[in-house]
Structure 1
Amino acid sequence: MRPQTRYAKPAGGYVAYQAFGEGARDILFVTHWGTNVDAMWDEPALAHFYQRLSRNGRVICYDKRGTGVSDPVPLATLPTLEAWMDDARVALDAAGSRRAVVIGDTEGGPMAMLLAATHPERVEKLVLLNTYARWRRDDDYPIGMPAPTVEKLVSLYERHWGQDPAMMHLTAPSLEGDARVEEWFMRYQRLSMPPGAATEMFRWTTQVDVRSVLPTISVPTLVLHRKENRHYRLPFGHYLAEHIPRARLVELPGADCYPLFTPQADDVLEEISAFLSGAPVEVRVERELSTVLFTDIVGSTDLVARLGDSRWLDLRAAHDDVVRRHLAAFRGREVKTTGDGFIATFDGPARAVRCAWLIRDSVRSLGVEIRAGLHTGEIELLDGDIGGIAVHLAARVMGLAGTGEVLVSRILSDLVVGSGIVFEDRGVHELKGIPGPRQLCRVVRVP
């Protein structure tokens, strides 16, 4: 029986979701970026996979904005990991789920990792299935795909999307030659999104880098990876297991990874069932991934001397009101004020940058200039306050910012790929009290 498709509406458009099955736990399934929750039930083998998965609990599936039967997005402003994480939270809330096991499959993995690190109170356990923290090769990531290979794959996606099953032959070679499945696969691609959008979406997924998130994941994690996987290669799985605390890696035989419903999927379901057996795990949340913002009024001492105490207090009150209005608009949480500045946290780095940028522009109408520093990292939750090296790092970043400048760590800029935010390299710096050099970036444009 097909589950009913329902809609939830966050800021920015409608998100389509389904909830099916019963059980003591909820399971959020986050898969490849090209989905259609209605059309996936047209393939009996895929329907059977989800029905078997639902024996472990109530399964929640959704189409991310920009795909399937959720609202489209402009190609010029593709969703970020942060926006897709918001879609997942919206689907959970709409389904009435307080906490769920999260399964991050293929390109859904990076977003699932970000969700688990940012909202550990919503994630009971994490399963990472044939996925990666970064796709592209770099000097400190030799297991990644070389740039020419990535560009070749992007070109293949554009040429074959919805017209040829060649990509399925790469990701599920056991299905090659099955004419019925090949026809369904091409139709499913067409119903997910048109080729232009698919090409841009795939290009974006190859630029994602969540390596900095991995050490902050505190929930029990299972990494499942196919040994002969040619698309999401086995070293990707090894890297995840080595960098996520206490994660367990299971290497599975075979090469099939997407779509899920090949005969090889049985061992995936068995491993997931074994991992989920037993009572739900309760985790006391004392640490989480956050973006920390520090702001500071430039030349506040001179302003006090020039204006006098009374006028300065009025100006600071007007400044504080502007800051708090923008924090509320971007889901920022005020931690405390510092006399002439603010400390705040955000559950998304792009939101934090946009908030800081608008605060800077808005307070200029008061005749005030600020500087701002941001960093994304693990913070300690200290009974209304925050602590940890991420907080100190954000403070040091602000200390290097010039008048009217919004300065961020390189880690943050890596997490907002696709947001349209433009950065300029500000070089590598040694930050007082922070081990190791840190690359910083200046925000130069915010869409």
Structure 2
Amino acid sequence: MQVPDTHYARSGEWQIAYQVAGEGPLDLIFVQPYLSNIELSWELPAFARLYERLSSFARLILFDRRGSGMSDGIAGATPLEDTIDDVRAVAEAVGAEQPALISYLEGCGLTALFAASHPDVVRALVLLSPQPRLLSGPGYEWAPTVRERSEFVAAIVEQWGANSPANPMALLVAGDDDRQRRLMARLQRLAMNPAAAAAALEAIGETDVRDVLPSVQCPTLVLRQDRDLYLDARHSRYVAEHIPNASYVEVPGDRALWIGAEDLVADEIEQFLTGARRPAANDRLLATVLFTDIVASTEHASRLGDDAWRNLLASHDEIVAEEVERRRGRLVKSLGDGALAVFDGPSRAISSALAARDRIRDLGLEVRAGLHTGECELLPDGDVGGLAVHIGARVSGLAGPGEVLVSGTVRDLVVGSGQELADRGEHELKGVPGPWRIFAVES
């Protein structure tokens, strides 16, 4: 999905950055917590997937709160009523007369306050792992103590923007995925500096919207993963018990927020807001994944210059597309100096790789290729995902110039096809459990 353009709405003296995605019949304003950058958040797969699903049935409106991300304002502590003004300003700018609101963590307190203050405006609330209060107190003993909270905040501020497993916020979103951890750390840096984060976190720690909850009149969905390792379930249950007639749903999952359960969470939200659940789709299929990659592409580009290299790449792309189509494959996407394609049969995929390699060699280029057969996830934009795709990429990375390598799974499926394969032994594939036997196509 293409990242929507960023626009600005005036809220008092400040300009508030917002985006609009989708054209659904209802308006859904996503109220971010203190930390956000709406442009960069699209690079985080869990966020992008949720945004894509929400915008498939609603007009999704994203914005950065004042002082965070792309918006104006003094970074740090911002009174709730000022942020409410920002919600109102964005709603007016996009013509959202009766929107639903969605938020997560401490941002849910703001949405509840807005809904209670404007019962004629807000049509529904969706609260993901809400936190009405962040500190322990009478009737709320399960929350962290002042000391525990201070230590947690100190750890966040100390590691703010750091690509480190010790960064609590990066760990929350990315787990042990180094690339996603780097993106989350970058989002922190582009949202605000450490001093502003410290001020915002201090103000959040003093917020308590429990008394507001009984005044929320609109339909409300409280949603969390049933084994959320980050936030005590009693926060969410408290909110659901104190908002009149709120619905409480737990979806299977052991990550924070909606991470790793994006489609399950989106299904519940869609049913709650529209009254209809998305029908089950054939979103997975068995396919042979083919990755190709030009060897020494950087050196070629440097030697030829931009124009000549661009023309050569165009010829390369045309050859790959022709050979994929000729053997009933589907070219998923160009990878700049390579390609990703899927086939309904491994023999055709191998033949396509060999033919493309030989024709591209006539251009003065060598390519490497890797193949694996497995179950792939079909993504809404036509892309494919899943472990099979990851394995195919890793197999390709093992290939030398002109080589076509296949996994043992492919080898088992092409027995009797006439394909000659040489055993290249067992290999560890980064990010994939267990050793994998790899074979080279002899031709």
Please state which band the TM-score falls in when normalised by the shorter chain. 0.5 to 0.7
Q: Could you tell me which residue of structure 2 aligns to residue 374 of structure 1?
A: none
Cα pair distance change 1:232/1:85, threshold 3 Å? farther
Q: Could you tell me which residue of structure 1 aligns to residue 216 of structure 2?
A: 217
Q: Which amino acid aligns with 1:39?
A: L
User: What is the SS of the residue equivalent to 1:231?
Assistant: coil
- TM-superposed CA distance for 1:133, in Å, is 1.1
Structure having greater relative contact order (Cα 8 Å, sep ≥ 6): 1
The question of whether the paired residues in 2 share the 8 Å contact of 1:21 and 1:59 is answered with yes
User: What is the SS of the residue equivalent to 1:198?
Assistant: helix
Q: Deviations over 1:127-181 (max 9, x none)?
A: 1101121111112321221111101111011111101353146534xx4221111
Work out which of the residue numbers 229, 249, 271 in structure 2 matches 1:274.
Answer: 271
Q: Deviations over 1:177-232 (max 9, x none)?
A: 21111111111111111111112111211211001101100101111122333433
Q: Which amino acid aligns with 1:67?
A: S
Q: Distance in 2 between matches of 1:120 and 1:159?
A: 40
The question of whether the paired residues in 1 share the 8 Å contact of 2:170 and 2:181 is answered with no
Q: Distance in 2 between matches of 1:22 and 1:239?
A: 34
- TM-superposed CA distance for 1:27, in Å, is 0.3
- TM-superposed CA distance for 1:106, in Å, is 1.4
The question of whether the paired residues in 2 share the 8 Å contact of 1:3 and 1:18 is answered with yes
User: What is the SS of the residue equivalent to 2:24?
Assistant: coil
Q: Which amino acid aligns with 1:274?
A: Q
Identity over aligned pairs, percent:
36
- TM-superposed CA distance for 1:252, in Å, is 2.6
Q: Could you tell me which residue of structure 2 aligns to residue 98 of structure 1?
A: 97
- TM-superposed CA distance for 1:42, in Å, is 2.9
- TM-superposed CA distance for 1:72, in Å, is 2.8
Q: Could you tell me which residue of structure 2 aligns to residue 182 of structure 1?
A: 181
1:34 corresponds to 2:35: yes
Question: 1:224-263 alignment to 2 at 5 Å?
Answer: 224-258=223-257, 260=258, 262-263=259-260
The question of whether the paired residues in 1 share the 8 Å contact of 2:29 and 2:101 is answered with yes
Q: Which amino acid aligns with 1:54?
A: S
- TM-superposed CA distance for 1:37, in Å, is 1.4
Cα pair distance change 1:98/1:161, threshold 3 Å? same
User: What is the SS of the residue equivalent to 1:201?
Assistant: helix
- TM-superposed CA distance for 1:32, in Å, is 2.4
Comparing 106-115 with 140-149, greater Cα deviation is found at: 140-149
Q: Could you tell me which residue of structure 2 aligns to residue 195 of structure 1?
A: 194
1:84 corresponds to 2:58: no
> Who wins on radius of gyration, i.e. which is larger?
2
- TM-superposed CA distance for 1:14, in Å, is 1.0
TM score, norm. by length of structure 1: 0.58
Q: Distance in 2 between matches of 1:169 and 1:184?
A: 8
Question: 1:34-433 alignment to 2 at 5 Å?
Answer: 34-73=35-74, 75=76, 78-163=77-162, 164-165=164-165, 166-168=167-169, 171-172=172-173, 175-258=174-257, 260=258, 262-278=259-275
The question of whether the paired residues in 2 share the 8 Å contact of 1:168 and 1:176 is answered with no
The question of whether the paired residues in 1 share the 8 Å contact of 2:102 and 2:126 is answered with yes
Q: Which runs of 5+ in 2 are unaligned?
A: 277-443
Q: Could you tell me which residue of structure 1 aligns to residue 393 of structure 2?
A: none
1:17 corresponds to 2:18: yes
Q: Could you tell me which residue of structure 2 aligns to residue 314 of structure 1?
A: none
User: What is the SS of the residue equivalent to 1:29?
Assistant: strand
Alignment root-mean-square deviation, CA: 1.8
Q: Distance in 1 between matches of 2:30 and 2:81?
A: 17
